[in-house]
A and B are shown apart, each in its own frame.
Chain A
Amino acid sequence: MTIGRTDDDTSRLNPITKALLLVMFSILVLLVVDPIHMSVIVVCVLVAKEHFHARGLVTRGIIGFAVAIFLAQILFNHSGDDLASWSVFSVTTGGVYDGVSIAGKFLSLIMMSWVFVATTSPSELSSALTTAGFPYRYAFLPALSMRFVPVFQFELATVREAQVTRGMKLDRSVKGIVRSARYTTMPMLMTAMSRVNSITASMTGRGFGMHKTRTQLRPIRMTAWDVAFLASSAVFVGVTFLVTRCPSLQAV
Chain B
Amino acid sequence: MLDVRDLYVRYENRSKPAVDGLSLHIDLGEFVLLMGDSASGKSTAMQAVCGFIPDIIPAEKRGEVRIGGRVYEDATAVSSVACMVQQDPETQFCTETVEEEVAFGPENLNMSRTNIRKAVDESLANVRATHLVNRKLSTLSGGEKQKVAIASMLSVRPQLLILDEPTSNLDPRSVSDVVGVIDALRRKKEMTIVVVEHRPGGFKDLASRVMVMEKGRLVFDCERGDPVFADRIGTADAPPSTTMSPKGDLAVVSVKGLSYGVDGAKILDDVTFDLKDSAVVALMGENGAGKTTLLRHLMGLLTPQSGSIDVLGHVQDKDVRTEPWTVGRDVGFVFQNPNHQVFERTVEKEILFAAQNYDTSMNEALKAVEGFEASEEVRKFVHPHCLSFGQKRRVNIRSASSHGPRMILMDEPFSGQDAKNAEAIRGMIADLQRAGKTVVVVTHDVRFAKTSCTDVVFMRAGKVVRAGPVSSVRESEWVELFGEVAR
Contact = CB atoms under 8 A, between A and B. Distances in A.
A147 B152 CA distance: 18
B198 interface: no
B100 interface: yes
Nearest to B323: A164
A134 interface: no
A202 B75 contact: no
A217 B56 contact: no
Interface stretch (A74-82, A99-107, A188-196): A188-196
Contacts of A121: 96
B328 A165 contact: yes
A123 B84 contact: no
Interface string A50-63: 00000000000000
B414 interface: no
Given A201-B86, A204-B52, A215 B95 contact: no
Given A165-B328, A204-B75, A186 B340 contact: no
B196 to A, nearest CB: 14
Given A186-B342, A191-B340, A164 B325 contact: yes
Interface residues on B, range: 35 or more
B116 interface: yes
A168 B57 CA distance: 34
Contacts, number: 180
A217 B117 contact: yes
A142 interface: no
A133 interface: no
Nearest to A209: B76
B342 A167 contact: no
B52 A162 contact: no
Interface string A141-178: 00110010000000100110111111111100000000
Contacts of A4: 96, 136
A57 B261 CA distance: 21
A209 B109 CA distance: 9
B57 A166 contact: no
Interface string B338-361: 011111000000000110111000
Interface of chain B, main secondary structure:
helix
Interface in B302-359: 323-325, 327-329, 331-333, 335, 337, 339-343, 353-354, 356-358
Interface in B370-424: 385, 399-400, 403
A165 B83 contact: no
Contacts of B253: none
A45 B95 CA distance: 29
A123 to B, nearest CB: 5
Contacts of A163: 343
Nearest to B115: A215
A167 B403 contact: yes
B55 interface: yes
Interface in B74-113: 75-80, 83-84, 86, 88, 91-97, 99-100, 103-113
A149 to B, nearest CB: 12
B107 A215 contact: yes
Contacts of A161: 296, 301, 324, 335
A211 B111 CA distance: 11
A36 B385 CA distance: 56
Nearest to B90: A151
Contacts of B153: 205-206
B110 to A, nearest CB: 5
B80 A190 contact: no
A211 B83 CA distance: 18
Contacts of B358: 167
A165 B324 contact: yes
B357 A168 contact: yes
A250 interface: no
Contact of A122 (B96, B103, B327, B353): B96
Nearest to B327: A165
A213 interface: yes
Contacts of B84: 201, 205
Given A155-B340, A162-B341, A201-B47, A207 B94 contact: no
B156 interface: yes
A166 B328 contact: yes
A217 B301 contact: no
B92 A199 contact: yes
B457 interface: no
Contacts of A186: 342-343, 385
Contacts of B400: 165-166
A161 B86 CA distance: 27
A158 B296 CA distance: 11
A238 interface: no
B369 interface: no
A207 B79 contact: yes
Contacts of A147: 94-96
Interface of B: 47, 50-52, 55-57, 75-80, 83-84, 86, 88, 91-97, 99-100, 103-113, 116-117, 120, 136, 152-153, 156, 296, 299, 301, 323-325, 327-329, 331-333, 335, 337, 339-343, 353-354, 356-358, 385, 399-400, 403
Given A183-B343, A216-B113, 15 more contacts: A4-B96, A144-B94, A158-B337, A161-B296, A167-B353, A167-B356, A187-B341, A187-B343, A190-B342, A195-B91, A197-B56, A206-B153, A209-B108, A215-B116, A217-B113
15 contacts: A140-B94, A161-B324, A164-B325, A165-B301, A167-B357, A169-B357, A186-B342, A201-B52, A202-B92, A203-B104, A204-B79, A205-B84, A210-B109, A214-B108, A217-B107
